[in-house]
Amino acid sequence: MDTIADLSLQKNVSHPQTIQQILLNEHISSFRKLLQRRPTGILLVGSYQSRNCIIDSVIPDVQRLSCSLYVLRAAPEVSLKEQICVDDVDTPCDQSEVEGALKGLFVRARNVTIIGLAASETTVPDSLLRVGRFEHVLTITTALPEARKVAWRRFLLSLVAEDPHFEFPREGDEMLMRKSPGFDLPDFANVINTFLACSLSSNHVGSQRKFSFEALSDIVTSYSPMQASSDLSFVTTNMNTKEQYATDWGHHAGYLKQKQQLLRLCEWPFLHEETFTRLGVRSPRGVLLHGPHGVGKTLLAESLLRRLTSVNSVRVSATDLFSKYLGESEAQVRRLFARARILSPCIVFIDDIDAVGQRGGEDSSGVDGRVVASLLTELDGVQGGKVFVLACAADLDKLDAAMVRPGRLDNVIRIDTPGEEDRRMMLEMLIKDIPHGGARGSQELIEWLVSETEGVSGAGLRALCDEAGMIAIEKGGTDLEAVDEEHFREALSHTR
């Protein structure tokens, strides 16, 4: 895969490695070591660009076969080769017959290493994933932080070669590295080509190229890694922007103490990983937010995820993990955490976890118990500082005690109905955009509402303001310009 950026790099920067090889250096090294052991088969799993880049870097002259029934059966002189590469072994077409043809290829190709290329290991038949066939599986994960940093440095230097007036911060490569967690080769290609296309379109025809580091940084920040959108359709991933940060975290009113606890437990381990390692401090693995319905647990969690622009996130409602097919619920739990490991550093956000993690929870089919067991297994495998679990529950007492023991969701934060100061901050945020009339000033109205809304949740306060506005429209018509105290008073009587 040659992108505009690669061509520019090769022309202006004298270096034996391309950006692709820098990003895949760890996997190229692992693949070489596997080949030296002369195994029967190696399954290389990853994106089309990544797996082909590895093959071209290590064995560029390898014989390639397409995974079709005709080609596999008719392949001549396979026993005379050291390696054979079979493309797309996870192809869904004529799966059973192709599976049989691949088994026959392994029999004919004695003392030959057969390299299979696939986008996903889960779609490759289990009968091929054993000793004597594809006995080694090499999954191409996202680029390591140091590799991303070197790759960004190379690209920034290539931009300097193209545009002598281009400038970037001294720590520009570090900044881009932190904003690109979960990026693999196709992601880099997409971001770089998008940036170059935008830069070219903004310049006059025939004029010298002009590049902006700020524009590149914004594109990287707003990009969502491709691997985040595969396999699990019900899982959403982050797309962080500066605007979302300002809106969602900076404008999230109230709960100052709980927000500080979240930053301490969720943000510090990712931002200060070296300090944690140097002092021998174990990074937290998980946090559980619990409290009544409507107090803003989910809103607070999602605001935190948008704040952490240098960390990926995968988000799922616990009930979406269930499937009507036997064994599929547990498989979805495994795939959820497998994706988080690929996208590390990553936060797994599970909403309404008490829907699956109930004490002794067993339905007639035993699905609840198996899903809980799968969750517990994955929580045990979470690596602090790389993958972090953030969960929400309405009732802590319903959760299996094993969920909240040390090493799992052992940091528990209570989100209760807002206190007086929290309600004041929330109402100030809600009412500031509402035109207000009447004898009371805005602050007096807020203080009166604070005294009248004890025990009301954040969602309840939002509903109160909306109801006051609806009453104002109902009584004063669509030309009304302000919401008065009487409208709020009537709204209070409706919502209590």
Over the chain (496 residues), the average pLDDT of each successive run of 10 is: 40 56 91 92 89 91 74 59 83 68 80 87 83 89 85 91 87 87 83 84 56 89 63 48 45 80 87 84 87 87 82 83 75 82 83 73 60 84 76 86 82 89 87 71 83 87 88 81 83 77
| Confidence at residue 6, expressed as pLDDT on a 0 to 100 scale | 44
| Total Cβ atoms within 10 A of residue 438 | 15
With both helix axes pointing from N to C terminus, report the angle between 213-222 and 185-201 in degrees, rounded to the nearest 10: 140
CB 287 within 8 A of CB 301: no
CATH of the domain spanning 232-414 = 3.40.50.300
Parallel/antiparallel/unpaired status of strands 136-139 and 41-45? parallel
Q: Are 393 and 353 in contact (CB under 8 A)?
A: yes
HSE of 360, CA atoms in CB hemisphere, 13 A: 0
What pLDDT was estimated at residue 210?
A: 73
According to the model, what pLDDT value does residue 115 have? Answer: 92
Residue type, 7: L
Residue 209: CB atoms within 10 Å: 15
Residue 354 identity (one-letter amino acid): D
Residues 73, 104: contact at Cβ < 8 Å? yes
**Phi and psi dihedrals of 326, rounded to 5?**
-60, 125
Which position has the token pair 């009339």?
437
Alpha helices in 24-165 (DSSP H): 25-36, 48-58, 69-74, 95-108, 145-162
Residue 32: the pLDDT is 93
Read off the tokens for 378: 């994955």
How high is the pLDDT of residue 65? 81
Separation between Cα atoms, residue 25 and residue 245, nearest integer Å: 34
pLDDT value for 276: 84
- Rounded Cα distance between 142 and 119, Å, is 14
pTM for the complete prediction?
0.61
**Structure token digits, residue 441:** 């000033």
Please report the beta strands in 197-342, taking only residues with DSSP state E, as ranges in sequence order.
236-237, 286-290, 312-317
| pLDDT given for residue 102 in this prediction | 81
Distance CA 235, CA 337 (A): 11
Q: What is the CA radius of gyration of the chain?
A: 28
Say how far apart CA 445 and CA 483 lie, in whole Å: 11
Q: What is the pLDDT of residues 156-210, one digit of tens each?
A: 998 888 888 888 998 899 889 888 877 888 888 888 988 888 877 655 445 556 7
DSSP SS3 for 16: coil
For residue 35, the model assigns a pLDDT of: 92
> Which CATH number applies to 420-495: 1.20.20.10, 3.40.50.2000, 1.10.240.10, 1.10.8.60?
1.10.8.60
What CA–CA distances, in Å, run from 493 to 99, 295, 487?
69, 20, 10
Classify domain 25-139 at the CATH class level: alpha beta
Query: 426 CB contacts (<8 Å, ≥6 apart)?
Result: 253, 254, 418, 458, 461
Residues 6+ apart with CB under 8 A from 307: 245, 248, 249, 267
pLDDT of res. 153: 92
